[in-house]
């Protein structure tokens, strides 16, 4: 199937909120990680969200180091490969901080304009602007500006209020004060008032989330913050239950009980990156440890080509990541939930 249209993407998110399940959003950096993601969603018979960060885009172009070009290359590959699958995929860009709007988000929006002018759909179906490093007013001013640009192109915008702790793609927030890790009901109401009249959007509200991987119990989540924020928006603006489409960042190390509680409060997208990185790397480590003398030319020997051929261990890595994504789909209650079924 082609990449999801705007209407299909909105239906995916609406049904997830109504059904109290969520889509794992998987970060990709290469064709291997793209193939792992697509194969996993197809095997789980669910639609999926595949995303590229600024760092992922930069990596995809190697020594060129162009984050926007890399994201465009991966997205165009996804558009081509998606035709071979029977589920839908939405393409998303992750964590664009204010300093990266000009080198990353602006060129990608321009690429979508060109695609639309040529009679195609937008390159990406949603983008994230992460305004958490700046004051709330500046965050919402910029969010409003970019939501208007996205809405003109039938693209959904994701924003963030509060700060996700830890480090990702070189952006380290480990030193922020504890109160910044929790979005307030007032923040959620302000965002709703400014943005909801413009076009479809998602909110990455923070409730103690931390990027990276931690043992269970080390990350202190407060999912009721999401419940309280949804209730505040409903009361102030006379909406239905859970009016916000919420996104869960920094979920590694969270318990299944905590994850399921967030689904009750309107989380429809959960970023799954760190666990997928490990699931991709582990089979490679296994391969090299078990086949050390075949991978290397030890003591003047010639090694074994079938062991040092990258296709072998990258295939194993792709399979490991695929299995972890399928587990994420099951954890988020999304198995078999494609809107095409």
Q: Let me know if residue 320 belongs to a domain.
A: yes
Residue 251: pLDDT above 90?
no
Q: Let me know if residue 340 belongs to a domain.
A: no
pLDDT band at 211, cuts 50/70/90?
Answer: low
**pLDDT per position as a tens digit, 135-165:** 999 999 999 999 999 999 999 999 999 765 4
Q: Let me know if residue 47 belongs to a domain.
A: yes
**pLDDT per position as a tens digit, 77-87:** 999 999 999 99
pLDDT band at 212, cuts 50/70/90?
Answer: low
**pLDDT per position as a tens digit, 17-52:** 999 999 999 999 999 999 999 999 999 999 999 999
For residue 179, the model assigns a pLDDT of 58
What whole-number distance in Å separates Cα of residue 84 and Cα of residue 99?
37
Going 131 to 134 to 137 to 138, the CA torsion angle's sign is: negative
State the DSSP code for 62.
G
Task: Give me the number of domains the chain comprises.
Answer: 1
pLDDT band at 172, cuts 50/70/90?
Answer: very low
Q: Let me know if residue 202 belongs to a domain.
A: yes
pLDDT band at 170, cuts 50/70/90?
Answer: low
For residue 173, the model assigns a pLDDT of 44
Q: Identify the domain containing residue 38 by its residue range.
A: 6-331
Segment 206-215 mean pLDDT: 65
Q: Let me know if residue 339 belongs to a domain.
A: no
Asked if residues 46 and 26 have their Cβ atoms less than 8 Å apart, the reply is no
Residue 216: pLDDT above 60?
no
- In the chain, what percentage of residues exceed pLDDT 90? 84
pLDDT band at 166, cuts 50/70/90?
Answer: very low
Segment 214-233 mean pLDDT: 80
Measured between alpha carbons, how far is residue 184 from residues 161, 227, 292, 308 in Å? Answer: 9, 11, 53, 52
For residue 101, the model assigns a pLDDT of 98
94 assigned to active site: yes
Residue 180: pLDDT above 90?
no
Give me the catalytic one of 94, 130, 187, 273: 94
For residue 213, the model assigns a pLDDT of 52
HEC string of 298-323 equals HHHCCCCHHHHCHHHHHHHHHHHHHH
Measured between alpha carbons, how far is residue 27 from residues 36, 56, 59, 90, 152 in Å? Answer: 11, 8, 12, 12, 26
For residue 146, the model assigns a pLDDT of 98
Segment 222-250 mean pLDDT: 96
Residue 217: pLDDT above 60?
no
Residue 58: pLDDT above 60?
yes
Residue 117: pLDDT above 80?
yes
Of 208, 284, 181, 211, the C-alpha closest to 53 is 211
Residue 215: pLDDT above 70?
no
Q: Let me know if residue 341 belongs to a domain.
A: no
Q: Let me know if residue 249 belongs to a domain.
A: yes
Query: Which CATH number goes with the domain that contains 75?
Result: 3.20.20.70
Q: Let me know if residue 261 belongs to a domain.
A: yes
For residue 320, the model assigns a pLDDT of 98
- Which residue is associated with the tokens 């792709």? 318
Q: Could you count the other beta carbons within 10 Å of the beta carbon of residue 326?
A: 18
For residue 282, the model assigns a pLDDT of 98
Asked if residues 209 and 165 have their Cβ atoms less than 8 Å apart, the reply is yes
Question: In the chain, how long is the greatest CA-to-CA distance?
Answer: 76
């Amino acid at each position: 199937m082609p990449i999801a249209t705007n209407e299909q993407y909105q239906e995916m998110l609406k049904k997830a909120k109504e059904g109290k399940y969520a889509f794992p959003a998987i970060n990709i950096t290469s064709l291997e990680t793209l193939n792992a993601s697509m194969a996993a969603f197809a095997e789980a018979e669910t639609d999926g969200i595949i995303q590229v960060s600024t760092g992922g885009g930069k990596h995809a172009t190697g020594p060129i180091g162009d984050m926007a070009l890399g994201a465009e290359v991966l997205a165009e590959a996804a558009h081509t490969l998606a035709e071979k699958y029977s589920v839908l995929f939405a393409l998303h860009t992750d964590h664009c901080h204010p300093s990266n709007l000009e080198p990353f988000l602006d060129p990608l929006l321009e690429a979508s304009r060109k695609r639309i002018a040529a009679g195609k759909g937008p390159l990406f179906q949603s983008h994230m602007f992460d305004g958490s490093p700046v004051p709330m007013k500046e965050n919402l001013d910029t969010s409003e500006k970019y939501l208007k640009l996205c809405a003109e192109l039938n693209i959904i915008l994701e924003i963030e209020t509060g700060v996700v702790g830890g480090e990702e793609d070189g952006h380290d927030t480990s030193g922020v004060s504890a109160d910044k890790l929790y979005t307030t009901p007032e923040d959620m109401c302000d965002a709703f008032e400014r943005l909801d009249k413009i076009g479809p959007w998602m909110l990455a509200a923070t409730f103690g989330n931390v990027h990276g991987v931690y043992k269970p119990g080390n990350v202190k989540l407060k999912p009721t913050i999401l419940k309280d924020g949804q209730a505040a928006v409903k009361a102030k603006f006379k909406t239905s239950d859970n009016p916000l489409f919420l996104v869960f960042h920094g979920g590694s190390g969270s318990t299944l009980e905590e994850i399921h509680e967030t689904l009750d409060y309107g989380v429809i997208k959960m970023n799954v990156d760190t666990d997928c990185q490990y699931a991709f790397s582990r089979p490679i480590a296994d391969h090299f440890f078990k086949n050390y003398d075949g991978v290397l030319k030890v003591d003047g020997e010639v090694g074994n080509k079938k062991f040092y051929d990258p296709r072998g261990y990258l295939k194993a890595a792709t399979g490991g990541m695929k299995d972890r994504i399928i587990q994420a789909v099951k954890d988020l209650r999304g198995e078999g939930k494609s809107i095409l079924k």
